[in-house]
Amino acid sequence: MRMLFVLAVAAILIQPVLMAAERSVEPPANALAKVEWDAEQGRLRLCYHGVTILDATVSVKDSTGTNAAAVKFDSNEIAGDKVEQRLKFSAVEAKAGAELILRGRVIASEEGFPAETQSDAQKRFPYVRNSVGLSRNLRNNAVYDRRWDWVLVGPGDGATRIRPRRTGEKRHVFSLECRGAGLELVFRPRFYQKHKDLEHFTPWTYEVWKGPLTGYCTWWAYRGGFTQETLDAMLELFVEKRLPDFGYEYMQFDDTYQQGNGSCPENWLNWDRKKFPGGWEYSIKAIRDAGMKPGIWVHRIHRPSDPRVADIAKEHPEWFVHKPDGSLFTNRGFYVLDTTNEEAVDNMVRKLYKGLNEQGWGYVKIDGTGDLLRAYQNKEIAEFFEENPTTPEESLRKWDIVAREELGRDVYILACHTVGNARHVIGLVDGARLSNDGFQPRTLAQYNFMEGVVWRNDPDHCDVLGEWLMDTDAEMPVFGLGSRVPARSIIRPAICTMAGGVLMLSDKLEVYQDDRNIEGMKRSAPVLFTVPGQLYSCERRTVPWWLQEIDRPFEHYSVLARIQWGQKREKEWVFDFKGLPRQEVRFADLGLAGDREYLVFEFWSQEFLGRFKGSFTAPAMDENDGMDVFAIREVSPHPWVISTSRHISQGGVSLLDEKWDAEAKILSGTSKVIVGDPYVLTVHLPEGFRLENAVAAGADLEVANEAEIAKIRVVPSVTKTLRWKMIFTK
């Protein structure tokens, strides 16, 4: 007799959509899924938000693959705010050598992706992992659907296999296989919102910003000393060094251009003409003429010492929060806006962002998230929030609601600063500065699980010669130059790229005049959009190993970076590299197949390490070597590109297409190349193959055959898409 158990029916929770301009859909329920279990057929079906998200069979097999026993099914549900559903399977009759096998498919939205949860795998080989496109990593044991914020988790540490099967505009389908003496699936709705306590995370109402976020920020290098003259010189240098071609898109003004400290729309929108005689009009045009996009910084505070502000407060005292005695409240010398007063919001907030949009800014950094929140939380004005229909957090959020309404979705909005403060404006901003002032690479590990899901992670402006965690004396060889370069100039931009985060440079002009300081910058831009490979925090620490998967229609491979972080001296705020020993890296520990062969190529040395099965040995790093980046590709029976010199992704940025014609023995492809930047394609030569010739329209190619690899080199005369063809003999 067929038995059908309906364990729970999804209930709908009504929740308002944040912004009319965003996706207007019915929110998913914070409720148990509907589970159908057919005991006779061993068939499992899981439905949530009106659709099937899992269709699978569960069986007990012996060593010959024969059904060995019936399957017992149990469930355990946790209701309340953090809903959780545990589906447990075991054999009705235990038999030696038998195991349970669950096979099926997981159906997610187009924003679903595989990832891993915490297991012993991270203890054996701790790293930070993400993917460009869909992951195929064997450490994955979960599917997370970002659009509907649910997660389905299988057993970890190798007991679950998840593979992308079909992708499309509306959904992604993954094959799922779990094996073990007993099996458990865990379903959690509202995973980030409830289980990770991100109250405002409603991803069905907005999409994550997917474009590259690379450029220059004026703040760290110049503070208030950046002028129109500095802008002209910086843009001239960026064009001379071809940095926009390399992917540096934004030129962002920070605290330098406004009248006073800003504090009201008129002071933000009308520039200090002593510093910038041409005003915003000149600056925006100059930036665009250089092939870049304009970005700007604003703050949330109103200082009475700034032009016009005291007069505004005198004329409209009702626009600001008052103390119980009726006097205007000030916090650290600034007034605090009453965001329940729409007239105040229109004149002090809406006017600003409407003006910025009309001027044409494509990147807006909104500072003071924490400053304003702390002000609203001040005990002196607790009575205000008791008497008005708002909270400190809602008052803060009102600023960003208005900013988004006026700027639209085509403008990148960055909240500044710290996740603890920016979490209150989730869904309204595109990115968040993760910590306090200064480049904070450790936060990229801590908040990797948020990158590409909640927003884009910003570790703050990247000064390539910064000293934090860096050995300032260390210099390492790189293939692009004949001389050694500061190791920190390699590590700092490259860690942003490996993390998929924001990369906004901030050094003085003279730093970039030295080509030794910009090689790391050039090979790290642009930053590719990533989603996390781990649904947990890797903690705020210096993680040496970072892995990024690259998924393309024509190939799938991994990029593994090893970073040497400086160790602090006992009595000095100085860091030293101590060197790192050789280390065996097991492919299975990385999440790759332990029984397959892989080709390993190191980027900065342009060295082919060889062909390996089971593991490879990462070379020792001395006191000068700051970073190694290994491309790991599965061995192909025919010639195939194993690295490109353009970018540390070794193909993720420049290699647009690649195909092999077995009959003609021709490898052809398309690459994005940059004028004057030598571009090298390194190709593996399986036994018996030799590169006979290579051609590309309008370009002279140099060809070199080595023992197991061949290299094709071209120096482009123009930035363009290059179509190339390699002819092999065997």
Q: Mapped to the 3 state alphabet, what secondary structure does 663-711 carry?
A: CCCEEEEEEEECCCCCEEEEEECCCCCEEEEEEECCECCEEEECCCEEE
Position 430 scores a pLDDT of 99
Position 480 scores a pLDDT of 85
How many Å apart are CA 213 and CA 231, to the nearest integer?
20
How many Å apart are CA 236 and CA 148, to the nearest integer?
46
Kindly report the CA angle at 210 between 205 and 212, in degrees rounded to 5?
150
Estimate the crossing angle of helix 351-359 against helix 392-407, to 10 degrees.
30
Q: Which residue has the tokens 């329920």?
A: 29
Position 698 scores a pLDDT of 87
How many Å apart are CA 502 and CA 415, to the nearest integer?
13
Picking from 64, 55, 140, the residue whose alpha carbon sits closest to that of residue 99 is: 64
Q: Please state, in angstroms and as integers, the Cα–Cα distance from residue 267 to each residue in 73, 106, 296, 403, 525, following that order.
A: 67, 54, 14, 17, 34
* Alpha helix ranges (H) inside 82-174: 120-124
Show the beta-strand stretches assigned E in 383-440: 412-415, 431-433
In the chain, what is the greatest distance between 2 CA atoms, to the nearest angstrom? 91
The stretches in the chain having pLDDT less than 70 are 1-23
Which amino acid makes up residue 37?
W
How many Å apart are CA 263 and CA 304, to the nearest integer?
8
Position 90 scores a pLDDT of 95
Cβ atoms of 41 and 70 within 8 Å: the answer is no
Tens of pLDDT, residue by residue over 446-484, are: 999 999 999 999 999 999 999 999 999 999 999 989 899
Q: 48: which strand partners?
A: 51
Cβ atoms of 554 and 641 within 8 Å: the answer is no
Cβ atoms of 470 and 490 within 8 Å: the answer is no
Assessment of whether the complete model's pTM goes beyond 0.85: yes
* Contacts by residues 308-313 (CB-CB < 8 Å, ≥ 24 positions apart): 308/263, 308/264, 308/266, 308/267, 309/263, 309/264, 309/267, 309/335, 312/264, 312/348
Tens of pLDDT, residue by residue over 359-417, are: 999 999 999 999 999 999 999 999 999 999 999 999 999 999 999 999 999 999 999 98
Position 22 scores a pLDDT of 57
Position 580 scores a pLDDT of 98
Backbone angles phi, psi at 318, to 5 degrees: -70, -10
